[in-house]
Amino acid sequence: MRHLTGVLVAASLVASSAAHADDIATAQALFDKGIADLQAGHVDAACKELRDSLVAHDDSGTKGALATCYGQQDKLASAWGLWKDLADTAPRQDMKDEATKQAAALEPKLAHYVLKAAAPVPGTVVTVNGTAVRDLSVSVPLPVDAGTVALAANAPGYKPWTGSAKATDGQLTTIDVPALIPEPKATPGGGPVYDPAVAAEEAESRHKRHLVAIGAAGVGVAAVIVGGVFGASASSDFDTAKKDCGGNINACPGTSIGAARSAFNSANSAATLSTVMFIVGGAAIAGGAVLWFTAPNVEEQPPAGAVSWRLAPTLDPHGAGLVFGGGF
């Protein structure tokens, strides 16, 4: 580690003559602080300082120090990328050899990923941890730092997508990017343009809502019919009780009171059931009507130049009705 740090410090003194003196001074100060923090075990602070130093001034020594720091953060892919770069660009052969050795040691440990995009549209750009992958046809495993991988996909005219995946050192992760959803288009007047896919989805939703509404209304009608049957039974039993009492239930003779009471109780039970079934039936029918009339409207694309008409229900605190309208 001391030998490597010495090589890195020496290399940091090699600066481009075209670089601005203030940038070099800032980069050197950040580099010195980063090396001090790295040696003190303050790895996160050191990596930030070394990264900022590299932004201020591109320097081989800083790349090597940052690669070492990334390795201690377990950002092996980031470290490997810097070592590979140094193996080609370092100003001295001993530094190139050291960088090649470091990269080779990390290579078997790297996490890799492959992208599988579902029906990518022209112009799709997928970013992995902020790095753009424009050619989605490439199936070569690419290195990535282990941990949570931040994903995003964008294409002109489509809704952006974001997601995440988990990458593990030494393993290959397959990342599935779903098909992007088109952005709703606007007409010159500001209204939405007819979209066949959206229309099909709305039609399916409307159909399902109508099926539920019909089912609810059917249950309601059946309940009303059953309620009517119980009501008729209650009326019949009450007439029987009245007949058994000689036409006046309140003055029923003792010899007839038993039969009259049985018929009267039966009439009460049937009447109660009739009332309950009418309430349930009415509620089910009302619920079915609400489901039917609140089903999503399906936008259909009218022929060019044709007049389109629509009949729609309305409901407000003052009552209900129908609205008839159209457009060109």
Question: 64, exposed or middle or buried, with CB in 10 Å at 0-12, 13-18, 19+?
Answer: buried
Q: Could you give the angle at which helices 93-106 and 2-12 cross, rounded to 10 degrees?
A: 130
List the one residue out of 290, 320, 325, 323 whose CA is nearest residue 307.
Answer: 325
Residue pair 159/185 in contact by the 8 Å Cβ criterion: no
Measured between its terminal Cα atoms, the distance across the chain in Å is: 78
Query: In whole angstroms, what is the distance from residue 42 CA to residue 36 CA?
Result: 9
Euclidean distance between CA atoms 239 and 267, whole angstroms? 9
What was the pLDDT predicted at 229? 77
- Per residue of the chain (328 residues), give pLDDT as tens: 444 544 444 444 343 444 467 889 999 999 999 999 999 999 999 999 999 999 999 999 999 999 999 999 999 999 999 999 999 999 999 999 999 999 999 999 999 999 988 878 888 999 999 999 878 877 889 999 999 999 999 999 999 999 999 999 999 999 999 999 998 876 555 555 556 666 777 778 777 877 887 887 787 778 778 767 767 776 776 677 667 666 665 656 655 556 656 766 776 776 787 787 778 777 878 877 777 777 766 555 544 444 444 544 554 545 545 444 554 4
Cα maximum dimension of the chain = 127
As beta bridge partners, residue 173 has: 113
Distance CA 99, CA 67 (A): 9
- Between helix 43-56 and helix 60-72 the angle, nearest 10°, is 150
Q: Tokens 């080779």 appear where?
A: 104
Burial code of 66-83, b = ≥16 C-beta within 10 A, e = fewer? bbbbbbeeebbbbbbbbb
Q: pTM of whole model > 0.75?
A: no
Instruction: Give residue 255's pLDDT.
Output: 55
Q: Do 111 and 170 meet the contact criterion of CB atoms below 8 Å apart?
A: yes
Residue 316, SS3?
Answer: strand
